[in-house]
Amino acid sequence: MKDGIFGTTVTCMDGRVQEPVLRWMRANFEIDYLDTITEPGADRVLLEATPALLEQLKQKLQVSTTAHGSRVVSIVGHHDCAGNPVSQETHLDQIQKGVKIVHLWNSNIRVVGLWVNEWWMVEKVADTQKE
């Protein structure tokens, strides 16, 4: 186990979302570091990826949860996404489905769905742990 507490995010490659997501994850979970797995339009990728790409994502996540001991993962979609240019409603639906998929991969890990809105503020739209 590494020093420090890790969390994980599966998010867009878009540079505008990285800082807000990092800040939100640090503010809401007691993490020191955020392992960041990026794909263009990550919320869509989780639903439409080929089996090979899904397997790669699963393995990346596994590095974070085993080597780094991460126990919380966020699935992120955002406003004005070039990799996934769909309506906000579709994004929210995809994020919620993506949260369920990742939770099926590893039910010991809390998975939250985050929407980064037009003001680059983060809203939580799904959570596998009821508060």
Residues forming a β-bridge with 122? 116
116 touches Zn ion by CB under 5 A: no
Closer to Zn ion by CB, 6 or 115: give it: 115
β-partners of residue 90 are: none
The dihedrals phi and psi of 55, each to the nearest 5 degrees, come to -65, -40
Radius of gyration of the chain (CA): 13
Stretch that binds Zn ion, among 4-12, 27-35, 50-58, 59-67 (CB under 5 A): 4-12
Chain positions 8 to 27 lying near Zn ion, rule: CB under 5 A, are 12, 14
Residue 115 and residue 92 in contact, taking contact as beta carbons nearer than 8 Å: yes
CB of 12 to Zn ion, least distance (A): 3
Question: Smallest distance from the beta carbon of 88 to Zn ion, in angstroms?
Answer: 13
Chain position carrying tokens 């929210």 = 92
The site map against Zn ion for 64-93 (x = CB under 5 A) is -----------------x-x----------
